């Protein structure tokens, strides 16, 4: 898999009773493909995978694979703070036919660097699909060191990192030390172009849920050498990006999609609807961008 361009961190739509809305999931995937999205990422942070059962996870992967039908890449979040669980989920999704697996750092346990390298290696050794490690210390309470990323980048199955620390110095250092086949994609929409300027190849994006075309245009402008356009798009959408993170992700983006008439349903507890003042502020920003 060539990990570059715009990959959407897709929300998981729910029915009013909290069950997964598979018909809507199909519609959202079609919306993304029509917008030019290079790949779909399901069961990530934005997909609320932490509140879903293993059976629901597999059903989402099956639905996504059937809907995509080879038209773009599919990456499934299969990480866990239990290495055995991560292996089990990764092997299952690999057998279903995903292109890639997104593995978050083992949260809560807070393993040392040796343990984390062993964790990712143990999963990568068991699958045929490409593996992307996911560094988001603000969520997990732990972070991969530069040296750990360097070591993991040498594994033939580990092809890249979703880097969501927001630390540009860290991005520069892993870009300097990682092996040639190893891709860096931004996990923060507000610094997609800066990360690409430091050696990144694209983004796994929350913004793309509502603006797939703009996210594609931004990343591909940069990949095609048009820095001026890429920078202009990054700055143009900055206010919207900030609005989509005024509360914890994915609350604002789901609210935005519902306001846009996409009817993606509620969150699962402990996530719930936005605070009223935040919702009004979000509506104003969506109107400014002519999304509602």
Confidence of residue 186 (pLDDT cuts 50, 70, 90): very high
Superfamily of domain 5-226: Aldolase class I (3.20.20.70)
pLDDT at 65 over 80: yes
- State the catalytic residue, choosing from 7, 93, 134, 237: 134
Beta bridge partners of 207: none
Confidence of residue 72 (pLDDT cuts 50, 70, 90): very high
- DSSP-derived pairing of the beta strands 158-163 and 39-42: unpaired
pLDDT at 180 over 80: no
CA 169 to each of CA 53, 76, 175, 190, 195: distance values in angstroms, whole numbers, following the listed order: 37, 28, 10, 16, 10
Identify the DSSP state of 191: G
Confidence of residue 110 (pLDDT cuts 50, 70, 90): confident
Identify the DSSP state of 45: T
Separation between Cα atoms, residue 163 and residue 166, nearest integer Å: 8
The pTM of the full predicted model, rounded to 2 decimals, is 0.96
Confidence of residue 114 (pLDDT cuts 50, 70, 90): very high
Confidence of residue 86 (pLDDT cuts 50, 70, 90): very high
φ/ψ of residue 241, rounded to 5: -60, -45
110 noted as active-site residue: no
Q: What is the mean pLDDT of the chain?
A: 96
Whether 179 and 154 have beta carbons less than 8 Å apart is answered as yes
pLDDT at 179 over 80: no
Confidence of residue 73 (pLDDT cuts 50, 70, 90): very high
Whether 114 and 145 have beta carbons less than 8 Å apart is answered as no
Q: What is the pLDDT of residue 177?
A: 83
Q: What is the pLDDT of residue 102?
A: 98
The CA-based angle 70-74-76, given to 5 degrees, is 150
93 noted as active-site residue: no
Separation between Cα atoms, residue 131 and residue 158, nearest integer Å: 5
Whether 6 and 37 have beta carbons less than 8 Å apart is answered as yes
- State the catalytic residue, choosing from 24, 89, 162, 254: 162
């Amino acid at each position: 898999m060539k990990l570059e361009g715009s990959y959407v961190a897709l929300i998981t739509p729910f029915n009013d009773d909290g069950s997964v809305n598979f018909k809507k999931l199909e519609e959202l995937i079609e919306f993304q493909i029509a917008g030019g999205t290079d790949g779909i990422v399901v069961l990530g942070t934005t997909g609320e995978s932490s509140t879903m059962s293993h059976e629901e996870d597999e059903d989402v992967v099956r639905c996504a694979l059937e809907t995509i039908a080879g038209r773009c890449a599919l990456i499934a979040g299969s990480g866990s703070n239990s290495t055995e669980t991560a292996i089990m989920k990764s092997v299952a999704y690999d057998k279903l036919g995903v292109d890639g697996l997104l593995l978050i750092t083992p949260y809560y346990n807070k393993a040392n660097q040796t343990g984390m390298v062993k964790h990712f290696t143990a999963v990568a050794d068991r699958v045929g699909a490409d593996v992307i490690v996911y560094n988001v210390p603000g969520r997990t309470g732990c972070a991969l060191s530069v040296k750990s990323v360097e070591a993991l980048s040498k594994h033939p199955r580990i092809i890249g990192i979703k880097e969501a620390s927001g630390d540009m110095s860290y991005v520069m250092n892993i870009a300097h030390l990682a092996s040639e086949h190893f891709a860096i994609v931004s996990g923060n929409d507000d610094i997609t172009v800066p990360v690409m300027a430091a050696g990144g190849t694209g983004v796994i994006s929350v913004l793309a849920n509502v603006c797939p075309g703009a996210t594609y245009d931004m990343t591909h402008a940069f990949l095609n050498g048009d820095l001026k356009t890429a920078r202009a798009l990054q700055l143009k959408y900055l206010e919207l990006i900030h609005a989509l993170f005024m509360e914890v992700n994915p609350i604002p983006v789901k609210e935005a999609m519902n306001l846009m008439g996409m009817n993606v349903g509620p969150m699962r507890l402990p996530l719930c609807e936005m605070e009223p003042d935040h919702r009004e502020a979000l509506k104003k920003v969506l109107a400014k961008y002519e999304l509602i």
